[in-house]
Structure 1
Amino acid sequence: MGKIAKALGTAAAAMTIPLVMQGTAYADIPFGQPIQGNATYYDNSGYGACGTWINAGTEMLAAVSASYWTSPNPNNDPLCFGVFVEVTANGRTIRVPVKDKCPSCAPGHIDLSLPAFRALDDPARGNIPVTWKFVR
């Protein structure tokens, strides 16, 4: 019985480590804290950082700065599990899911899909000042 109990204890510990690591990273997302920054847009399609197929030309979604991603494998990052951004500009507010990473974005910069950007302003502007925050 001692060997079985030891094996079960080791297995339980191994399964707990990813949960603890994910919980810690999830807690690091600054939920509800307004961020003053800017928004741009993109409209390409392909696999996003969360490992799912996205089409930024037709879907409402957001890509956030690489500085907010905490997992070595972005498909498993806490940002890919029920995290949204609420973005406000020109008296309009949208809420869109985080589905991608923006490697060239500074922490205050958010890259919206074309439809999301269009809901806030004319895409011809290309880059607009926004206030945004992470929400669940």
Structure 2
Amino acid sequence: MRALKTLRYAAPVLVAAVTGIALGAGPAAADVPIGQSMSGKTTYYTDKGYGACGTPIDATSQDLVAVPASWWTSTNPNNDPLCKGISVEVSYQGKTIRVPVKDKCPSCDRTHIDLSKTAFQKLAPLDKGVINGITWKFVR
């Protein structure tokens, strides 16, 4: 009888653990690939308020980046590894900038990053709107 009671309480824990592993197996659960160069595009945004890392942001006056949702691994983005001192180094036509990850871009595909207005301006004029052909990587 005691074994059945233990099994009854242990079974949900086992199911949760197995489900967590199965759900975490997608690309979002991959480790942040520090130093791995990627090609893609960037746009810019001008949001103010709180970013996905839970800190105040002003994308009109601060250099920062919103990273595609597919790179976030925690259900609570405030606790995500991306919010723990990770930056993105972006290069375009001989210019390179480094900006801290402070936000999430839900509409960006895996190689599309969204820079703050001020960071984007360091690479190209705002009227360009979209910069194709950037290279970027996560850095500490």
TM-score class normalised by the smaller sequence: 0.7 to 0.9
Select which of 123, 128, 131 maps to 1:125. Answer: 128
Alignment check: 8 A CA contact 1:26 1:79 kept: no
Write out the 4+ residue segments of structure 1 that deviate beyond 4 Å after TM superposition: none
Q: Percent identity of the aligned residues? A: 62
Q: How many aligned positions are there? A: 112
Residue of 51, 67, 70 corresponding to 2:70: 67
Ranges in structure 2 where 5+ consecutive residues have no aligned partner: 1-27
Quote the offset at 1:27 in angstroms. 7.4
Q: Deviations over 1:77-100 (max 9, x none)?
A: 010010000000121000000000
Structure with bigger gyration radius: 2
Per the alignment, do residues 79 and 112 of structure 1 end up closer, same or farther by CA in structure 2, a change over 3 Å counting?
same
Task: Tell me the distance in 2 between the aligned counterparts of 1:120 and 1:54.
Answer: 20
RMSD: 1.4
Indicate conservation of the 8 Å contact 2:43/2:131, yes or no. Answer: yes
Normalised to the residue count of structure 1, the TM-score between the two structures is 0.80
| Cross-structure match for 2:58 | 55
Conserved 8 A contact 2:89-2:138? yes
CA contact (8 A) 1:66 1:101 kept: yes
Counterpart of 1:114 in structure 2 is: 117
Counterpart-to-counterpart distance in 2, 1:27 and 1:127? 27
How far the C-alpha of 1:44 sits from its partner, in A, is 1.7
The equivalent of 1:5 in structure 2 is none
TM-score (structure 2 length as normaliser): 0.77
